Every structure is written in C-alpha cells, then in structure tokens.
Amino acid sequence: MPDLVVRDLTKTFPSRSDPVEVLRGVSLSLSAGENLAVLGPSGSGKSTLLYIIGTLDEPTAGTVELFGENPFALSEPELARFRNERIGFVFQDHHLLPQCTVLENVLLPTIARGASSPAHDVRARKLLDRVGLGHRLDHRPAEISGGERQRAAIARALVLSPRLLLTDEPTGNLDRASADAVGALLLDLQRQENLMLLVVTHSQPLAGRMSRRLELSEGKLIPAL
Amino acid sequence: MSSLALLLQGLRHYGRIHLAVALGVAAGTAVLTGALLVGDSVRGSLRDLTLERLGAVDEVVLSGGFFRQELAGELAASEEFRRHFGDALPVILLRASLLNPQLTATEGPAGASKARGFSGRVNVLGCDERFWKGAAHAPKKIPGSDEVVLNEALGKELGVEVAQDVSLRLPAAQSVPSETTFGEKTENKANAILVTGKEGRTEPSPAAAGVVARLLRPTLADYGVEIVKTERGYLQVISQALVFSPALEEAVLAALKEDGAQGALAYLANYIAAGKNGEAKIPYSIVAAVDFSSQPPLGPWRDIDGKELSPLAGEREIVLNQWAFDDLNRQLAAAEQKLAIGDEISLTYFLPEHPGGRAVETTTTFRLAAVVPLDEGSPARDADFTPTVKGVTDQRSIRNWKAPFPYHQERVRDEDDDYWTQYRATPKAFVSLRTGQELFGSKRFGRLTSIRLPGEGRTADEIAGKLGPRLEPEKLGFRILAVKRDGLAAAAGTTPFGGLFVAFSSFIIIAAVTLVGLLFRLAVESRAGEVGLLLATGFSRRKVRRLLAAEGFVVAVIGGAIGVAAGAGYAWLMLYGLRTWWVDAVATPFLHFHSTWLSFVVGGLCGILISQAAVWSTLWFMRKLPVRRLLAGQATPDSPLTAGRPRISRIVAAASFVAAIGLAVVALWQHGQAQAGAFFGSGVLVLVAGLAAVWGQLRVGATGRVATPGALPLVRLAVRNAARHSGRSTLTIGLIASAVFLIVALSAFRIEPVGDAREIELAERLAQLRERRASDAEIGIVSARLNEQRELLKSGGTGGFSLVAETGLPVFRDLNDRTVLAEAGLQTADIERLKGGTIYSFRTLPGEDASCRNLYQTRRPRILGVPKDLIDRGGFAFASSAAADEAQRKNPWLLLNASAGETKGGKPYVPVVMDMNTAMYSLHLYTVGSTLDIEDDEGNKVPLRLVGMLANSTLQGDVLMSEENFLRQFPQVIGYRFSLVETPPERTAAELRTIQHSLEAGLVNFGFDAERSADRLREFLSVQNTYLTTFQSLGALGLLLGTFGLATVQLRNVLERRSELALLRAAGFRRRRLAGLVMLEGTCLLVGGVGVGVAAALVAVVPHLVLGTAAIPWLDLAWQLTVIVVFGFVASLWAVRATLHAPLIAALRGD
C-alpha cells in the first residue's frame, strides 16, 4: 500500500467572474523511497497540488491519504503535529528567519512542540555538514549565498526526519551550478533517508533526475514526456 | 533552541517596530494613568484644602442661642474628651457684612475697581488667644478689642491693607426670633465651641465619632431656660427666647408632667374693645391663655362674686379682670351702653407670624364669660404671666416702650399708665390655653411663654436637677458638626474627575489603541512569511499566535511601564491646564499633584490589557489566512479589488443619510439640549453614511482608469493605491473623521447665556426715541420688540430677573414696601427707580452650594423657599417636569404647590425643583420623580421629590420648594436671605447699575450683595463650556496621535509594495515622483477624514448657528484643525522617507 494516495483531487478558486478550477480529478500515489517530479507551466496548479498534499491547503473535492490517514480529518493541532513529524517542505524562497542563525533556522521545526533536544542539535549539525554548511552554523541568512540558503532550507526540512519531502521549485532562484548541486543533494538525501520525494518544478534538468515524472496540464496529471 | 529563544530573537530583531508599538502602548497607558492621577489630585487637593481651612478644628458645636463659655471647659474637662481631642474653645460665630468705608464712600459697594470694598456674607469668629495657639497662620499680634484679622481673599475683596479701618456690620445678638412680636436684642457669651484635634491638622480618628455628643452636658441656662419661684409661690419655667420652641415645650412638659406642670401663653392685644361699635377700647394689654386650675397657688379662679370658674368651655370665651371691666364700662357709659356677662369683647392683635415681614393686625370677637377680681389673693393678679421683655416690661411707663413692632404711643391713656404703674404686666384678659394657642401661638416659634407648676415643698434647683438630664442637646438647638470628618468625606468630590478625564481623554486612548493595533499589525504583517513557515513546519496556529502574542505582551509591558511614568507627566499637564486654561471648570486654581499607587497600578494594567486586546484582535484577523498566502509574504485576505460589489455599504450609507435627514427634521421641533442632541445624532448618522460611502467606493477601486489621458493620473493612482486596502484606509479615514466630527460638533453644546444685553440696548434706544420725540409708530415698534425680549428672557436661564441678591443677615420685611426701603436708608430717587419692578424674597435654609462651582460632594444642599408670587409669576426654562395638566405645563412652578405623593411610611414628599446640573451632577438625581432625603435641624428626615428640572439657570446649586412647604419643614428659619430682582421695564444699563448700587448701599446692614443675573449665569455656563473645551482640546491631542496611525498605514502600504515601487523606479519614475505619489496617498486619507468629519459636524452645528443658540469658537477650531492637517502631512513624510530610502535592487529581488 503506497504511503501517499491522492484520488480525484479537485481544487476550485473563486474569482470575480466564474470560479477557476485549477485541479480536475488528479490522482497519484507514492511509496517510501520513491521520488516524483510534477512538471507544468506557471499557473498550471503544481504548487496548489503540492500544498494540498502537504496539508497546507484543502481540496475542493477528492481525497488525500497519507500514511493510511486522511489528514484533513484531523483537528488543527493534530494536523500541525502530523505535518511537523511527517512532512518536510522546501520552497523556492528559502524563508529563513533573518533573526536566527543558520543552525537555529534548521532547528526551528524542533521547537514547534517544545524546546529542541541535544539529539536534535546533533542531527541539525550533521545535516548541515551533509549539505556543506558545517562551517556556517552561526551565520545569519543575510551572510550566506542564495545556494547556501536553499541548502540550509533543505536541512531544516529534514531535521525531524520526515517521511515525505515536498519541494516547490527548489532551484527556481538558483544559478545552474547551484541548482544542480541542490538537485543532487535532494536525491542523495532522499535515498539516504528513504523518503518519499515530490518535486514540483518546471525545471527539466531537475525533473530529469527523478525516477517518475508527471505533467499537470489543464488541471489533470498526465505522464510527462 | 527554544520558543523563548525564538521570542527573544524576534524581540531583538524587530526592535524598531516593537519600540514603536511600545510607544503606542505608553501613550495609551500614560493617558489612562494620568487621568486617574488627575482624580487623585483633585481629591488630594480638596483634602488639603479642607485641612488647611479647618486647621486644628475637628468638630464644631453650634447653638441657636448663646450659652455660658464654661460649657466648653466642662466639655474639655472629661478624660474621654482628652483621649480623642485637644481642646474645646468657646467662640462667637456670626454671619456679618464688612465694608471698606473709604472705598464704599467713593465708589459705592459695587464700585468699578477690582476690590469691591464690600462683602455681604462673612463668617465672623469671635475668639480669644487660645484659638491662635498653634495655628499655622496666626497673626503676629493677637487682635485687640477694636481690631480684626481678615483672610487674604477678603482683604483683597475689601481693598484694605493692614492697619486700615474696616466697618463690621454684625447682627443684633438675638435670643428672640425677630419675626415674633416681642423680638429684641439680648446679650450672651458664646454660641459655638470649636473642638480641636489632638494632633492638630490631621485626620480625626474614627473612635472620636460621637464622643462630643455623648459628653456635651449643657445646663438649663445654656438652653436659655430658667426656673424661678414667683411671688405667688409657684415655680415657673421660662425661656430666654421668650417663647418656648416646640421641642423645648415638649421636652419640659414631658419631664415635669407628674409635677402638675401647665403651660401659659401671654400675648399683647393692641386693643381690648367693647360696645356695639367698639366704642370702649383699652390699648396695649396683656392677654393670658391659661388652664383655669382649681389648685393653689395656680388657682382656684373665682369671679367677682366668689363663684369658682371652671375651665372655659367655649372656643371664643374671654374673662376680663375687674379693672378692664370697669374701664370699659366707664367708657361705654358715655355712649349710654353697659357691659355685662355674655356681651361681645373684641381683641385686636398682631398675627403671631409675619409673612413677608409685614406685621398684620387682626381682630377676634369673644363672649365675656366672667370678670375676675384683682385683689391680692386672686390668681389673676399675677404679673409673672408675662415674661420679661427688654425695652417693654422693664419700662416705667407704657409710653416709654421700645417696641420691636409698630407701636403707637398716642393710643396710651393716663389710665393705662396708672394700671401699668400699679399692676405692671398683669394680664387684663384671659382665654383658655387652647384658644390662646390657636390665636396667638406659632407652630414655628412656639405656643407657650411659661410653664408653671405648684412650688410647695420644692425648690427651683430641685426641679432644675430633674429637668436638666431629661433635655437632649441635639433636639434643643445644639448641633454637633463633625466638620473635618465630613469635609474630608466630601473631598471625595462631586465629580469623579478620574473618570471624567478618562472620558475626556477617550479619544487619545482610542487613538493610542488603534495605533498599537496598526503598528502591531504592521509588525506581524511584515513577518507573514515567517508565520507561514512556522505553520508549514508544524507549528500549530495557536502556538504561532501565542508566540506573537507573547512578543506583544513583552512589548506592552515595557510600553506600559514607560506609560505609567509618563502618566505622571500627563497628569501634571492636565493639572496645569486646570490651573490655567481650564480654570473655569474648577473655579479656583487650587489643584496640586497627588498620587496613589492604585492609580499607577490600575492605569498600567488597563493600558497593557487594552493594548493586548489590540494585539489579539490583530492575530484574530490573521487566524484563517492560508499558509500559502502567508508564505508569499501576504498577511491580508483576498484582494478586495476582486471581491463582489459592496452592496451592504451602499445600503448602510443610504439608510444612514435618510435617517440623518429624518432626525434633523425632528430636531427642528425640539428645544435646548434635546435639540442639540438630535442635531448631534443627525451629524453622527451623516458621519456613518459618509464612511460607509467611502468604504464602498474604496472597495470597488475608488477611481476610473489610471492610465487614461487627462488630468491628475498621479492622484488617481494614489487614490487607487489607498483603495487597495479598503478596510485599513476606511479605518484611518474613520479615525480622523470621528475626531474631527467630535471636536467641531461638540461646539454646538457650548451655550452662550441669553443675557439682558439686547434688552438694555432696546431700552436705551427707546429712551433715545422718547428724548427726540420720535413718532408713536417708531416708539411702538421698539417697545414691542422690548416686550418680546423681556418675554424671551423670562423663559430663559435668568428667568427675566436682572439681579440675584443674597444677604448675610436675614431680612424680615417686605422689600417691595417703599416705606421699608425708605427706613432702610434708600434715597427717594432710588426708590422711584425701582417703581414697576419687583423683589422676590426667598426663605433660605443654609446649606452647601450644590452648583458645578463646588467640587466638594454635596451632603446638605441649600434650600430656598419660593414665594407664592414667584410661583404664580412663573418663568425660567424647564428641561423637564412632572406637569400633569395644561396649567402645570404652562407654568411648572405650580407643581411646588401640588401633592408629590407619600413615602411607604405615609409621610408626604415635599415637591422640589432644581437646576438640571445640580440634580444630575451634584445630587445624582437623573429623572423627574427621583426622591431625596434631607435632614432638618432636629435630625428628622424630610423626603423630597423632584418635580421639575430647570435648564441652565441662575438658580443652580439650590433646592427649591414652595415657601409654604418650607415653613412647614423648617419653622425655625427666620427671614429672607435670597432675592431675585425684576427691575422695571425700559431701564438702561446705567439705571440698572444705579439700582444695584442703591440696593446694596441702602441694605448694607443686611449685607445685601447683588449680582447681575447674566454674569452669574455666564459663570455657571463657563464651567460647562470649559469642560467642552477640555474635551475638544484633548480630542485634538488624540487626533494628533491618530495622525501617527495615518503614517503607519502609509508605511505599511509602502513596505508591502516595496517591490512594486522599486519596479516603478526601474521603469523610470524618479524618487521624488514616487515620494509625491506616497504623499498623495496620505493626503487622500487625511483630506478624506477631515472632509467627512467636517461635513458631518456641520450638520450638527449649522442649525445652532442659524438659531443663534451656539457659541462656536471658530478661531480655536480652525487652529486645531490646521495643526492636525499640518501634523498629518509631517507624519506622512515618515512614509515618504521610507520610500526614498528603499534599496532598489533588494526590493526588486524581493529581499
């Protein structure tokens, strides 16, 4: 049984004229250790799909089953805990807190339900080492490069060992070299951690690294060429 | 890493915006704390004033008459007294008038100089050196027998310096009420005791309460009571007051009932007459009303035939003594008539009470029941029936009487003087006690002149020993006033100044809280991405809210702490204002800073809590924002420009506008405050309509296309930008508009007293027309206008009276009587000037001034007895009344004569009228029909019911009841002390001044102190107007604070759109042009707010301008609004500066 099962997902946004139907009966599944790229032009609904799978947005119709559970049936605190423990996010914008150091930013998810433990600290440092930022622990986001910020964001997404990593255009703001490095890092970490990885991108090189590729067209998922 | 660390880092990183929030909290807290401190200061200053005024005096024992000075020593000798008090000082306390002879001789009492040279109501204290011992402001030299010490204020009023002469007009020290026929002067020793505290000028201990009442033991002499053994051998209780007060009568008769005590009343008959046409007359004879006792030595009563008389059964039966019978018969013989038993005898005498100060003579006819002998053994031969009256009973001849009533010496015959020589004041006629009391007794002053009891085997001392302990001082004229305790309690104040200044400062508080909300929202919104990330990484919304709220709390606590300290500064500023700009609100500049910890704590906590409410409301608005939107850095809901058309706002705008018109139409039929309220309400509705319309317009985008050719594209773009956040912009416009509305519209509540200036102007014009012999038509027109004006004034605040006067001493005679005025010393020309005018005199029960000029809490307001003539005349404007029929509606004063219902205990309520301000603010009676209990001098409760409230009148501060009810409730109050003077029509300003001067000069012995009604009213209204000014000034201050909110909104707009603005710069916009755009956005909000506010305010104000009932300080308003607009522009520069300094590249990159 796959850990992620999406069935007939529909998402409609209200507008001043007619409602806009972004997703029209999208279905997909993903198991542990698998990775998937969702491609599509801007405005095709890629990010919407990612946010719904990541439980940050709710579908208009259809179901999402994650690890055998319907997350939308959970209460807000339960859902927050579910997301905290099982899902990691990497966004196009790194969203690092300017007031915190790189290490503190990585540890941020660990304080969602209390203070971080020494084990968390060890894991954060280890992750930062693995993403090549072991020497930047006490730097502020403003003091590091764009690629480094994104790597810090990846470390942050993995600090609580989630089982699903969702990335939204993770290389969209990076130069080619940095983008390649981040893409490689993501796959490397996915394999090491045995994660489900879902990458939403319109970057063909990044999508090409994934084992499965789907394209969102007119609100429906079709196999990518 | 922990939440705490995250919190602290957030605080540090966003320190600047947090500082702004903290300053907002500080402003709100400072204002709240400051307002509470103003309350503390008013209470504290009143307390200080009380302690300073009273010095060491804790309590005062007052007596209606004079008593032995030793009584004070006896009181102080007690050990219990010494435990609680310092000393008891006997003093004489009198109300008198003082004159500066030099000033009054040259300028008249109401001279034009600042010093009036005259003061009509001065409390004069006669004291010895003990009074000055330990006093804070004792004179260097204790005043000698012809010296006085004046306080500084009185010295200034009189215009005198040390060593200068002043003239002191004291009342005759009275032991006999002057309104009774025998009233005359006697001398005594002290009439008050000052009880000083043990520790001087400090608060008396609660344990001292009631001690003086327990220890005060006056002797019979102190009550003015004496027991004497008469020549006939019986004992007689007599009062120095000549007549027994009802309370004394009741107490003595109750105490000596078992001793066979019986009362007697001696009275003076101007004539005893007999004959068909009253041909036989005996002048000035004593008539005694007695019980015809059968026991010696008071009886038995026998007629000339030796037959024992039984008590007179008929109501109108009389007994003559032999001399009177023979004298009348002798006179009748000339007319060939003869007096016999059963014939008519008439008595002519003065009524015992003199209403209006006039002695009224009346005649009553009796049937002659018997004639009693005048031999030695007869109980009728007893001069002791008649009490000693100085100037009368001690005179050798009747012709020498110095009578305090209209006395005609020429009536006295030789026979009368012979009788006087032989029998002195032995009564010539006798009636039953019941009849005598009915005819000659006074329920107010008394119904007995002596109480007699058989003296066999008993001495006067024995009876005195029995009677003394049975008399209760507080029922018999001694009043014990805990002046310091009551004064300190009253220092709590009538007006809760803390609450008042919280209300006055409400706009500053609202502005500060709004600012806190706006700044906090700005802080949170600028961190939208952070919030989104925390939610995405598994923070629950509650946890995120708590984190942000915790930051807000820390900021609020810091701001609150700053605010508490700044609150003292705000309070100081307000107190400075109350001592200078707004001094009219508190009458005198006596306020000094006082504080209590409670005010700091309450102010601080309230400031923090209110700020927290603003913080939580901000977080509440963000509770449902999608994480996705937050991650995109957007902290606002869906763009309003894509929402549906705002039908609701248009409906609200239209409905409010229609309602505003409806209310304005209704207002046209209202009067006074109700009308002002209705127009104000109409203005509020226009404000709501305006704001709803603005909101609706902003919701749909506010303008047409921006990029179309034509004028003002930048303005259109600015308006469109302001419309991007319609709620935010409407809030800003609403804040400014509401403040502007309040500041301007409240001007409509300022009241300019309708004085007599117009009346005087017309009168002077009329005089000129008459002088130059203008046509009748011309004179007729002006005369008609003058009459109209007089009618208008009659139904206004002055009631149509030109002068209000008070006297230091009671006036007993009718001041409308030309002879009385002439006797008082008024010149004939001055009396002529008063012709056509009327002086309405009111009986007065002294009490506290319950007007808005007195900040102390009123416990016992002054009560005025409204004369019947004034009730019939009517006048003054009534704000509300309990009128039940057309006559009462036309003249609500008639309600004073009507029944006002009964208490549950069946006691009738006394109907009273008060000025609305007195009723509502001093006595806390908010509606007609409210009830109030007051105490009479004997401590009995008198239930009052409010039947009418006067609107802004010169009678503010007093409780008014009919004179009839007044006499019933306060029979002991004598004379008149308050007057309203209706001057003759067509008097010029000069004539009015002359009338005022001549009355003051002529009645100087009474301390007649007159004031122009218009001036008095203006003084009262200035309190109300000053409160409005205070509110408007503080409102303007709040609006200034509100302009920071405007700047914050603009800054938020700039920060949100920094990439967009950077793009415009990249597209070729110069920095200056962008700055202009931002400035224009701020201007739109500012002008929109001021415009909507002014438009709404005009709806409230213009009708009053047209009707001429408002005194709008246009210049002040223009100043305030100009300052606000300028300040708003300056605040906008803050946002402009942020625009100019925004880094282009970073903004374009979205950093």
Question: What are the E-state strand segments in B100-162?
Answer: 118-126
3 state SS of B948? strand
Listed ranges B74-83, B491-500, B701-710; the one with the highest mean pLDDT: B74-83
Q: Which chain A residue's Cα is nearest to B8?
A: A99
Structure confidence at residue B1068 as a pLDDT band (50, 70, 90): low
Least confident of B251-265, B373-387, B1035-1049: B1035-1049
Q: How far is CA B558 from the centre of its chain?
A: 44
Q: Which chain A residue's Cα is nearest to B4?
A: A115
Non-local (6+) Cβ contacts of B204 within 8 A are B58, B59, B84, B197, B482, B484, B485
- For residues B121-132, give the mean pLDDT: 82
Which has more pLDDT, B1120 or B356?
B1120
Structure confidence at residue A44 as a pLDDT band (50, 70, 90): confident
| Tens digits of residue pLDDT in B970-987 | 887 878 889 999 887 777
Q: Which chain B residue's Cα is nearest to A83?
A: B538
Candidates A58, A74, A95, A138: best to mutate against B (most CBs of B within 10 A) is A95
Would you call A110 an interface residue with chain B, using a CB distance cutoff of 8 Å?
yes
Side chain identity at residue B341, one-letter code: I
Could you identify the residue written with the tokens 């282009």?
B1144
Which chain B residues contact residue A114 at CB under 8 A? 2-3
Side chain identity at residue B758, one-letter code: R
pLDDT recorded at residue B313: 60
Listed ranges B232-241, B626-635, B940-949; the one with the highest mean pLDDT: B940-949
User: B204 and B484 in contact (C-beta within 8 Å)?
Assistant: yes
Residue A108 and residue B529: Cβ atoms within 8 Å? Answer: no
pLDDT recorded at residue B1062: 67
Which DSSP letter does residue B1009 get? E
Which chain A residues contact residue B529 at CB under 8 A? 93, 95
Would you call A76 an interface residue with chain B, using a CB distance cutoff of 8 Å?
yes
**The pLDDT of residue A45 is above 60:** yes
- For residues B403-416, give the mean pLDDT: 85
Q: Which helix (H) or strand (E) holds B566?
A: helix B541-579
Which of A80, A104, A121 lies nearest to residue B538, judging by beta carbons? Answer: A80
In a shared domain, residues B539 and B430: no
CA distance A8 to A27: 5
Which chain B residues contact residue A74 at CB under 8 A? none
- For residues A92-119, give the mean pLDDT: 82
3 state SS of B285? strand
Q: Which chain B residue's Cα is nearest to A13?
A: B638
pLDDT recorded at residue A214: 92
User: B371 and B325 in contact (C-beta within 8 Å)?
Assistant: yes
CA distance B416 to B409: 11
Structure confidence at residue B754 as a pLDDT band (50, 70, 90): low
- For residues B330-343, give the mean pLDDT: 90
Would you call B536 an interface residue with chain A, using a CB distance cutoff of 8 Å?
yes
Which of B1, B12, B644 lies nearest to residue A110, judging by beta carbons? Answer: B1
Task: Kindly write down the DSSP assignment for every residue of B815-856, as one continuous string.
Answer: TT-HHHHHHHT--HHHHHHTTT-EEEEEEEE--B--STT--S
Least confident of A184-198, B675-689, B700-714: B700-714
ipTM of the complex: 0.75
Would you call B700 an interface residue with chain A, using a CB distance cutoff of 8 Å?
no
CA distance B19 to chain A (A): 17
In terms of DSSP bridges, do strands B838-845 and B976-982 run parallel, antiparallel, or are they unpaired?
antiparallel
CA distance B1005 to B1091: 62
Q: Which chain A residue's Cα is nearest to B12?
A: A99
Task: Kindly write down the DSSP assignment for every residue of B749-773, as one continuous string.
Answer: G-B----SHHHHHHHHHHHHHHHTT
Q: Of B584, B602, B637, which residue is a domain's last?
A: B637
Would you call B532 an interface residue with chain A, using a CB distance cutoff of 8 Å?
yes
pLDDT recorded at residue B800: 85
Work out the widest C-alpha separation in chain A, in whole angstroms.
Answer: 54
In a shared domain, residues B520 and B587: yes
Would you call A115 an interface residue with chain B, using a CB distance cutoff of 8 Å?
yes
Domain that holds residue A63: 4-223
How many CB pairs lie under 8 A apart between chains A and B? 98
- For residues B200-209, give the mean pLDDT: 76
Q: Of B200, B233, B256, which residue is a domain's last?
A: B200
Which chain B residues contact residue A98 at CB under 8 A? 13
Non-local (6+) Cβ contacts of B341 within 8 A are B368, B369, B370, B371
Residue B536 and residue A15: Cβ atoms within 8 Å? Answer: no
Side chain identity at residue B578, one-letter code: L
In a shared domain, residues B306 and B420: yes
Structure confidence at residue B111 as a pLDDT band (50, 70, 90): very low
Q: In angstroms, what CA-CA distances link B939 with A154, B210, B478, B591, B942?
A: 89, 15, 11, 34, 9
Which has more pLDDT, B579 or A53?
A53
Q: How far is CA A102 from the centre of its chain?
A: 19
B247 falls within a domain:
no
Which chain A residues contact residue B631 at CB under 8 A? 91, 93, 95
pLDDT recorded at residue B711: 45
CA distance B312 to B438: 14
Would you call B9 an interface residue with chain A, using a CB distance cutoff of 8 Å?
yes
**The pLDDT of residue B1144 is above 70:** no
pLDDT recorded at residue B586: 67
CA distance B684 to B1093: 9
Which of B2, B533, B538 lies nearest to residue A115, judging by beta carbons? Answer: B2
Rg (CA), chain B: 40
Candidates A97, A137, A161: best to mutate against B (most CBs of B within 10 A) is A97
Would you call A56 an interface residue with chain B, using a CB distance cutoff of 8 Å?
yes
CA distance B923 to A204: 86
Structure confidence at residue B629 as a pLDDT band (50, 70, 90): confident
CA distance B743 to B1122: 13
CA distance A146 to chain B (A): 11
In terms of DSSP bridges, do strands A35-39 and A196-200 run parallel, antiparallel, or are they unpaired?
parallel
In a shared domain, residues B659 and B569: no
pLDDT recorded at residue B1069: 65
Domain that holds residue B1146: 643-753+1024-1151
**The pLDDT of residue B777 is above 90:** no
In a shared domain, residues B1028 and B1044: yes
Task: Give the Cα-Cα-Cα angle A134, A137, A138 (nearest 5 degrees).
Answer: 150
In a shared domain, residues B284 and B431: yes
**The pLDDT of residue B605 is above 80:** yes
pLDDT recorded at residue B786: 78
Q: Of B150, B182, B200, which residue is a domain's last?
A: B200
B1058 falls within a domain:
yes
**The pLDDT of residue B1032 is above 60:** yes
In a shared domain, residues B1086 and B1056: yes
Would you call A104 an interface residue with chain B, using a CB distance cutoff of 8 Å?
yes
CA distance B482 to B492: 16
In a shared domain, residues B40 and B91: no
Tally the domains of chain A.
1
Least confident of B291-305, B354-368, B393-407, B1021-1035: B1021-1035
Would you call A150 an interface residue with chain B, using a CB distance cutoff of 8 Å?
no
Phi first, then psi: give them for residue B604, nearest 5 degrees: -60, -50
User: B750 and B1025 in contact (C-beta within 8 Å)?
Assistant: yes
Could you identify the residue written with the tokens 């010295």?
B155
How many CB atoms lie under 10 A from the CB of residue B644? 9
Candidates B533, B543, B548, B1145: best to mutate against A (most CBs of A within 10 A) is B533
3 state SS of B1044? helix
CA distance B655 to chain A (A): 27
Which DSSP letter does residue A19 get? P
Residue B540 and residue A115: Cβ atoms within 8 Å? Answer: no
In a shared domain, residues B749 and B707: yes
Would you call B580 an interface residue with chain A, using a CB distance cutoff of 8 Å?
no
Q: Which chain B residue's Cα is nearest to A99?
A: B13
**The pLDDT of residue B140 is above 90:** no
Q: Which chain B residue's Cα is nearest to A162?
A: B537
Residue A77 and residue B13: Cβ atoms within 8 Å? Answer: no
In a shared domain, residues B31 and B120: no
- For residues A204-212, give the mean pLDDT: 89
CA distance B1038 to B1043: 9
Would you call B542 an interface residue with chain A, using a CB distance cutoff of 8 Å?
yes
Handedness of CA B1004, B1009, B1011, B1013 (dihedral sign): negative
Of A173, A169, A148, A36, the residue nearest A96 (C-alpha): A148
Which chain A residues contact residue B551 at CB under 8 A? none
| Tens digits of residue pLDDT in B792-847 | 778 788 888 889 998 877 887 788 888 878 877 778 888 887 887 889 999 998 88
Question: Residue A125's domain is classified under what CATH number?
Answer: 3.40.50.300
3 state SS of A68? coil
B1092 falls within a domain:
yes
Listed ranges B79-83, B93-97, B779-783, B828-832; the one with the highest mean pLDDT: B79-83
CA distance B1044 to chain A (A): 27
pLDDT recorded at residue B134: 65
**The pLDDT of residue B108 is above 60:** no
Q: Residue B283 corresponds to which tokens in the numbers above? A: 């002048």
B846 falls within a domain:
no
B935 falls within a domain:
no
**The pLDDT of residue B1067 is above 70:** no
Which has more pLDDT, B418 or B495?
B418
Tally the domains of chain B.
5
CA distance A45 to A24: 10
Which has more pLDDT, B333 or B1146?
B333
User: B1131 and B1043 in contact (C-beta within 8 Å)?
Assistant: yes
In a shared domain, residues B37 and B86: no
Structure confidence at residue B428 as a pLDDT band (50, 70, 90): very high
Which chain B residues contact residue A160 at CB under 8 A? 538
| Tens digits of residue pLDDT in B153-193 | 888 888 888 888 888 877 654 444 444 433 333 345 788 99
In terms of DSSP bridges, do strands B190-197 and B57-67 run parallel, antiparallel, or are they unpaired?
antiparallel
Which of B530, B628, B644 lies nearest to residue A56, judging by beta carbons? Answer: B628
3-state DSSP: chain B helix, strand, coil percent, rounded to 5?
Answer: 50, 15, 35
Q: Which chain B residue's Cα is nearest to A124?
A: B1
User: B1037 and B574 in contact (C-beta within 8 Å)?
Assistant: no
- For residues B509-536, give the mean pLDDT: 79
Residue B9 and residue A95: Cβ atoms within 8 Å? Answer: no
Task: Kindly write down the DSSP assignment for every residue of B957-1005, as one continuous string.
Answer: TEEEEEHHHHHHH-TT--SEEEEEEEPPSS--HHHHHHHHHHHHHHTGG
Return mean pLDDT, chain B.
81
Structure confidence at residue B1114 as a pLDDT band (50, 70, 90): confident
pLDDT recorded at residue B713: 60
In a shared domain, residues B152 and B82: yes
Which of B1, B529, B536 lies nearest to residue A111, judging by beta carbons? Answer: B1
| Tens digits of residue pLDDT in A144-195 | 988 899 889 999 998 988 999 999 888 887 788 888 888 888 899 899 889 9
Residue B2 and residue A91: Cβ atoms within 8 Å? Answer: no
pLDDT recorded at residue B1108: 60
Residue A85 and residue B5: Cβ atoms within 8 Å? Answer: no
**The pLDDT of residue B1105 is above 50:** yes
- For residues B1127-1132, give the mean pLDDT: 79
Q: In angstroms, what CA-CA distances link B1035 with A48, B89, B115, B326, B506?
A: 50, 53, 38, 91, 8
CA distance B489 to chain A (A): 56
Q: How many helices and strands, by DSSP H and E, does chain A display?
A: 7, 9
- For residues B1027-1047, give the mean pLDDT: 71
User: B839 and B984 in contact (C-beta within 8 Å)?
Assistant: no
